A and B are shown apart, each in its own frame.
Chain A
């Protein structure tokens, strides 16, 4: 995805996705600040929608959290379609999964999947 062409959704949506992605990566705000070399309060401000995120920072955050930039800026759908033939996986107990768990899995796949 060409980051410079991203139409920025409102900051609050990005803030929510950044926070969710950080938590899914198992990192604290302080750890994120250290990794991408910005002051810790800046991470707090990004996650509360009080600070604009640069395209470069978005790319760094997406790489750090292993999510797609498109998902971070709310361009990817929240979840993937379970009948989408492009979604390939190996899962031994798909038929036994509860609907809530399958829903969470499909949302995760959407976050991880590149925005192409």
Chain B
């Protein structure tokens, strides 16, 4: 029996795809009236591009449907920050006009050794869309971080600002931007556990977001039970976000229910709006932080 040779993307092909993805990510930011520095919410961006995003009870990462103006389906069961990255990934498929029949997808999956080039492109798009190089480097400079000595608290603050997970941020910093070494990345991944252990939560595995005085967004998206670490003196306007103790990195708050609340953060020039979705929300993304009606 002869086994057909499987195609593998070459380094040169990867470089070309990554460059195209980066240019497309910049173009979409400009189309949305954004600069190359500010953090972006992939759900809001999709909505502005008439792409409807829905969280579904299906065990997968996500799917893009070119139906009408475009639909993105994301598994509600994946970790919070991963869902956001998946939305940006699926938006990449929309921007590049990807789409095939189910039979074609199955055939192509068997023809490629690791990932289909479209998947590589969508991943690169998501990385550059959510974490533009200019934005990341300015965020590092604003905080006077020496990248040779970057600590877990810095990574949490930067990942929170750009709406991505700790791991995804480190991977982008090490492999896409090459601003830290792979060894630094591995070390920071290992030291994450020790950092997390400093914060007690009644909810096992509750995600931690760290808002510092350099936070460069007026909106923060979280889920019920998430812990917010904010500078001492931060105040929430309602008990949707309630104080939950102190830590070496600031006051700790916890989100108690779905809704939208404003917070005053010392050092931030504008009020922070915190949008809280239910855990593992199933539904249209635009409704995720709608307050419950009595």
Query: Using a Cβ–Cβ cut-off of 8 Å, how many residues does chain A contribute to the interface with B?
Result: 35
Closest to A104 in B: B58
Instruction: Tell me how far the C-beta of B269 lies from the nearest C-beta in chain A, rounded to whole angstroms.
Output: 33
Closest to A97 in B: B60
Residue A93 is within 8 A (CB to CB) of chain B in the complex: yes
Q: Are B66 and A88 in contact (CB under 8 A)?
A: yes
Stretch in contact with the other chain, from A10-18, A45-53, A106-114: A106-114
Query: Using a Cβ–Cβ cut-off of 8 Å, how many residues does chain B contribute to the interface with A?
Result: 45
User: For residue A98, which residues in chain B have a CB less than 8 angstroms away from its CB?
Assistant: 59
Interface flags for A1-33 (1: CB within 8 Å of B; 0: not) read 000000000000000000000011111101101
Instruction: Tell me how far the C-beta of A68 lies from the nearest C-beta in chain B, rounded to whole angstroms.
Output: 10
A108-B102 contact given A24-B283, A34-B293, A66-B284, CB 8 Å threshold: no
Closest to B73 in A: A108
Residue A79 is within 8 A (CB to CB) of chain B in the complex: no
Closest to B283 in A: A26
Closest to A106 in B: B102
Residue B197 is within 8 A (CB to CB) of chain A in the complex: no
Closest to A82 in B: B102
Q: Are A66 and B64 in contact (CB under 8 A)?
A: no
A89-B287 contact given A26-B282, A112-B67, CB 8 Å threshold: no
Q: Are A90 and B118 in contact (CB under 8 A)?
A: yes
User: For residue B284, which residues in chain A have a CB less than 8 angstroms away from its CB?
Assistant: 25-26, 65-66
Residue B221 is within 8 A (CB to CB) of chain A in the complex: no
Residue B134 is within 8 A (CB to CB) of chain A in the complex: no
Q: Are A105 and B63 in contact (CB under 8 A)?
A: yes
Q: Are A26 and B56 in contact (CB under 8 A)?
A: no
Residue A54 is within 8 A (CB to CB) of chain B in the complex: no
Instruction: Tell me how far the C-beta of B95 lies from the nearest C-beta in chain A, rounded to whole angstroms.
Output: 11
Q: Are A92 and B282 in contact (CB under 8 A)?
A: no
Q: Are B293 and A95 in contact (CB under 8 A)?
A: no
Interface residues of B in 78-123 (CB under 8 A from A): 90, 93, 98-103, 105-106, 109-110, 115-116, 118-119, 122
Q: Are B287 and A94 in contact (CB under 8 A)?
A: no
Give bound CA distance, A29 to B214, whole Å. 41
Q: Are B58 and A89 in contact (CB under 8 A)?
A: no
Residue B281 is within 8 A (CB to CB) of chain A in the complex: yes
7 contacts between A and B (CB under 8 A): A31-B287, A82-B102, A83-B103, A88-B67, A89-B105, A90-B98, A104-B57
